[in-house]
Amino acid sequence: MTVLSNLINGISLGSIYAIIALGYTMVYGIAKMLNFAHGDVIMVGGYMAFCAMTYLGWGVLPGILLAVIICTVLGVVVEKLAYKPLRSAPSLAVLITAIGVSYFLQNTALLIWGSDPKVFSSVVSLPSLKLFDGQLSISGVTQVTVISCVIIMTALVLFTSKTKIGKAMRAVSEDKGAAQLMGINVNSTISVTFAIGSGLAALAGVLLCSAYPTLMPTTGSMPGIKAFTAAVFGGIGSIPGAMVGGILLGIIEIFGKAYISTQLSDAIVFAVLIVVLLVKPTGLLGKPINEKV
Amino acid sequence: MLKVNDINVYYGSIHAIKGVSFEVKEGEIVTLIGANGAGKSTTLNTVSGLLDSTTGDIEFMGKSLKGIAPHKIVGMGLAQVPEGRRVFQNMTVQENLEMGAYTRRTSEVKDSLQDVFQRFPRLYERRKQVSGTLSGGEQQMLAMGRAMMSKPKLLMLDEPSMGLAPILVEQIFDIVKELNSAGTTILLVEQNAQMALSIADRGYVLETGKVVLSATSAELLENDAVKKAYLGG
């Protein structure tokens, strides 16, 4: 029964990674850049929901909505101010800028909220689900996290395969120049991508803080890096890959913690990544790079 | 219809286009011929707005294209079929065609889709297939169909014959002629000078970023220098 319980915890943690990884993978797919500030948007989302609910006394849904709106705007603004001017710069310059944005967000949070951890009260009031005569208990947060992840994933797949903007995003991710020749505005497509990714990061922040209720300016860093690993693991640029990569990573982490060593669990996660990349450099669901003829 | 006036284009410090001027009148087929690296594709990409010219002007239907974003130029009625076709490999044939009509309202797209499928029955058969699995000739047809979806007044084709078997090249050129007689003005860039001059009204010869010769196709086909350099004799 503990195996099953660990598995469920792994899927739950993995679902959070998957939601964050989506932001990484979509932005990479379209702008061909690694947005290392993505993890810190999670933290901003967490603080926004925290402030709305604790200081302003707002309800859970308005609190989440505020976090999502602010992070969406933040993502678009960061892209406009920091990344857009570097559109034709070497990718190393963009990468370093992203790391700079990450530090900027962390230190701004430190300035506003200080370094003491805030205790985040869970947004989920759902009772635990007891199965097998109470031997297996699935917490409300876990249920909500997994269900949200499935809904988000389905919505995104439908969005990219059915809507005009979604298809344009796929076109831009394949060939920016050709997409422009179709009349697609590449800049606004990139903005939409950042908006979606950052909005999802806010949701992930709220879910993460509900499951692990300490909130600090550095809260987003480690999950951000793990989610980036998940995106690479699943095949960066691929939406289903982010899902698969995220959930597998969560399961590996929890199993590593439970059966091998709590301290080594992160090392195990990254070791698995290295092995996967050695065997399949494009990640689990990544597409092989097309040879140009 | 299209007037390119003394444009200069640089790639970094490389002066790729040196004062090129040419004109395409409504209803014509005009071709730019020249060897690899002569600046043909660079010229087209500058007209499409993907590249900027440092000096000179490009005028389309009486409006300057200077500083206009590439995605807006498409909406003005100027479409390009890029070199190497560049269809969206992971999208289906139908999705590719829909992308071609991106600037138009959804309600108008249906008729255009029908037109393209009528002209290219093969694309209709394969409409649900991922386009990366199409043959080279089919991908060229898709790239042309995709450009037609925006209902362009001027269609620019960049090396449509590249990498295709001679029989397919003839088919593609027949289609270009048909599109022209149906009212689309054509600007054709080709290395295959023989083929290009056989359907074009007029031609310009580009050499290392400059127009060295311009005349009617009949005159160019008879020109000794052209014969020697581009027609294999």
> Cβ(A209)–Cβ(A49) under 8 Å?
yes
How many alpha carbons lie under 13 Å from residue A45 in its C-beta half-sphere?
A: 30
Give domain limits for chain A.
Answer: 2-279
Cβ <8 Å between A182 and B86: no
Q: Could you tell me which CATH class the domain A2-279 is placed in?
A: mainly alpha
Residue among A167, A177, A185 whose CB faces B99 most closely: A167
> Cβ(B143)–Cβ(B87) under 8 Å?
yes
Name residue B147's amino acid.
A
Alpha helical stretches, state H, A114-238: 140-162, 164-174, 176-181, 186-211, 221-234
Q: How many CB pairs under 8 A join A and B?
A: 71
Q: What's the pLDDT at A185?
A: 96
Q: What's the pLDDT at A291?
A: 44
Tell me what ipTM this predicted complex has.
Answer: 0.92
Residue in A186, A251, A211, A257 with CA at minimum distance from that of residue A10: A251
Cβ <8 Å between A180 and B50: yes
Cβ <8 Å between A181 and B74: yes
Phi, psi (deg, nearest 5) at residue A119: -90, 115
CA distance B47 to chain A (A): 11
Q: What's the pLDDT at B150?
A: 94
CA distance A31 to chain B (A): 16
Domains of chain B: 2-230 (3.40.50.300)
- What residue ranges of chain A have pLDDT lower than 50? 291-293
Query: Residues A185-235: pLDDT tens digits?
Result: 999 999 999 999 999 999 999 999 999 989 999 999 999 999 999 999 999
Bridge partners for B14 per DSSP? B11
Bridge partners for B117 per DSSP? none
Cβ <8 Å between B71 and A164: no
Chain B contact set for A175 (CB, 8 A): 86, 88
Residue in A171, A174, A158, A166 with CA at minimum distance from that of residue A192: A166
For residue A183, the chain B residue with the least C-alpha distance is B71
Phi, psi (deg, nearest 5) at residue B192: -80, 80
Q: State the Cα–Cα distance between residues B77 and A55, nearest whole angstrom.
A: 55
Q: Is the pLDDT of residue B108 over 90?
A: no
For residue B47, the chain A residue with the least C-alpha distance is A181
The two three-digit tokens of residue A245, written as one number: 């990569």
Chain B contact set for A184 (CB, 8 A): 71, 99, 102
Name residue B123's amino acid.
L
- The pTM is what? 0.90
Q: What's the pLDDT at A292?
A: 42
Q: State the Cα–Cα distance between residues A24 and A230, nearest whole angstrom.
A: 10
> Cβ(B123)–Cβ(B131) under 8 Å?
no
> Cβ(A177)–Cβ(B86) under 8 Å?
yes
Q: Is the pLDDT of residue B166 over 80?
A: yes
Q: Is the pLDDT of residue B170 over 90?
A: yes
Length of chain A: 293
Query: Residues A247-268: pLDDT tens digits?
Result: 999 999 999 999 998 899 889 9
Residues belonging to chain A with any Cβ–Cβ distance to chain B shorter than 8 Å: 164, 167-168, 170-171, 174-175, 177-186, 287, 290, 292-293
Alpha helical stretches, state H, chain B: 40-48, 70-75, 93-100, 106-119, 121-125, 136-148, 166-181, 193-199, 217-222, 224-230
Suggest the residue from A157, A182, A185 to mutate for an interface test with chain B (most B CBs closer than 10 A).
Answer: A182
Q: What's the pLDDT at A288?
A: 64
Query: Residues B75-88: pLDDT tens digits?
Result: 999 999 999 999 99
CA distance A282 to chain B (A): 16
Residue among B75, B86, B98 whose CB faces A175 most closely: B86
Q: What's the pLDDT at A127?
A: 82
Phi, psi (deg, nearest 5) at residue B21: -130, 140
Q: Please provide the distance, in angstroms rounded to a whole number, between the alpha carbons at the two ends of chain B.
A: 34
How many alpha carbons lie under 13 Å from residue A267 in its C-beta half-sphere?
A: 5
